[in-house]
Structure 1
């Protein structure tokens, strides 16, 4: 059941939560209230052992148009956009990346500016084939932010990152998938159903192994090869003593489906 309507809709599903940006009249552009509400909701999901995955989506005709430029304090000589990032967007993308649970993103319609940045920061992003991703910052005299200068380069490569950032041309969901910016593109009428099925699946997988996988992949972005080998050994040592590992091996040997700790029935 969804909570009372506000800037964010929160739905508790069996083993996971659906968080829906709910400012459709603004194409789900963020103001300070939506930032605070979404970060709090993500952190709450992270603390809840019954929540094993999170789905982030947008209400209305698009995913997210980025920053609401009508919010006070964003223009003029006194404006401090660095402070806006530190208290809002940077906190949000760090929360997504640090959450010890998979964050799935379902993108339809427009994902522009920092709206695209948060989609690229999620763990598994599904996009409608006809979704539109745009690094629109250059059109207002800014650089990509909310981690986009990092994610564009790491996901799509330096050549594509430069063109996307400097030109600001929109690309479709299918093009974003071909570039490696999102995991997969699907027909627009299937994106939400596919994302929900993915969360159902994640909720039944071993939570400890998912959290460790997320940490290991994040560490690989800066670790050297030897450091990563050492981290893998450390994590496997810990996971190898877990009840989920014992259950997974037993299920494999008995040729049955595994039933991991805390997974929904």
Structure 2
């Protein structure tokens, strides 16, 4: 586990909480591994009926750019911790509730497409700035986002990297509901407990049925995104952008 990922238990509800506040919860390879391990363990624990993904003042500022900048030091095609985490959350059979405050950037927004419930602060700042970083979408967002918010908004958000408020995310269907900032964690816990109290077998089967029609297409799209993302990480264009950001 990572010191920057805290695991909390409240009855049958498990909370995976990001805890790197000085970096706005920017995600490192170790944090991805810790989150993936926590999900894997929770999937096999009959005492866990629902999982909350949360941060603190910020959900997450996305991938730590130092990891992006150092990709050239690792072999091409090496399994990526972020993509492994995404595979874990896609396959997770129990309800996942996201509690989103502050920044939710990059994968901080795209992972929400795989959560069953998203509670966002009205003032949360969601963003998918892939093109601004010389990158491409990931987490199946090039497929799933349009189905959630419509083609026009999905195209604009992915192409421009525009910032989205939590209120707009809820109005568009990306979030389940938007609440005042101080109500995010209590609302997420209340909804998680509601789902955790229902029959777990029926919950798992319902989740499977809801996702089944897109499962094959999603797997294909995520595999293609993974290849394209890895290739873009190593381009001069992207590396120059990372270097510029890190100098700041």
Q: TM-score, normalised by structure 1?
A: 0.76
Please report how far the alpha carbon of residue 75 of structure 1 lies from its aligned counterpart in structure 2 after TM superposition. Answer: 5.3
SS, match of residue 130 in structure 1: coil
Greater share of residues in helix: 2
> Aligned partners of 2:187, 2:37: CA distance in 1, in Å?
26
| Counterpart in the other structure of 2:123 | 130
1:14 corresponds to 2:11: yes
| Counterpart in the other structure of 2:246 | none
Runs of 5+ consecutive residues of structure 2 not aligned to the other structure: 217-248
For 1:177, which of 170, 178, 184 is the aligned residue? 170
Please report how far the alpha carbon of residue 73 of structure 1 lies from its aligned counterpart in structure 2 after TM superposition. Answer: 5.3
1:221 corresponds to 2:214: yes
1:109 corresponds to 2:116: no
Structure scoring higher RCO (CA < 8 A, sep ≥ 6) equals 2
Please report how far the alpha carbon of residue 222 of structure 1 lies from its aligned counterpart in structure 2 after TM superposition. Answer: 5.7
Structure 1 pair 146–80 and aligned structure 2 pair: CA distance change class (3 A)? farther
> Aligned partners of 2:76, 2:107: CA distance in 1, in Å?
13
| Counterpart in the other structure of 2:160 | 167
- The residue correspondences of 1:92-107 to structure 2 (distance < 5 A) are 92-107=85-100
1:203 corresponds to 2:196: yes
Runs of 5+ consecutive residues of structure 1 not aligned to the other structure: 224-265
> Aligned partners of 2:177, 2:77: CA distance in 1, in Å?
32
> Aligned partners of 1:113, 1:81: CA distance in 2, in Å?
22
> Aligned partners of 2:169, 2:126: CA distance in 1, in Å?
8
Contact 1:74 1:81 in 2 (8 A): no
Higher mean displacement: 117-126 or 31-40: 117-126
> Aligned partners of 1:93, 1:123: CA distance in 2, in Å?
14
Q: Deviations over 1:141-164 (max 9, x none)?
A: 111212222221221122111100
SS, match of residue 139 in structure 2: coil
1:34 corresponds to 2:27: no
Runs of 4+ in 1 over 2 A off after TM superposition: 71-76, 78-83, 220-223
Please report how far the alpha carbon of residue 124 of structure 1 lies from its aligned counterpart in structure 2 after TM superposition. Answer: 0.8
Structure 1 pair 179–6 and aligned structure 2 pair: CA distance change class (3 A)? same
SS, match of residue 8 in structure 2: strand
How many aligned residue pairs are there? 216
> Aligned partners of 1:156, 1:72: CA distance in 2, in Å?
29
SS, match of residue 43 in structure 1: helix
> Aligned partners of 1:32, 1:185: CA distance in 2, in Å?
30
Contact 2:29 2:82 in 1 (8 A): no
Higher-Rg member (1/2): 1
Aligned alpha-carbon RMSD (Å) = 2.0
SS, match of residue 190 in structure 1: helix
SS, match of residue 67 in structure 1: coil
> Aligned partners of 1:66, 1:151: CA distance in 2, in Å?
19
- The residue correspondences of 1:133-148 to structure 2 (distance < 5 A) are 133-148=126-141
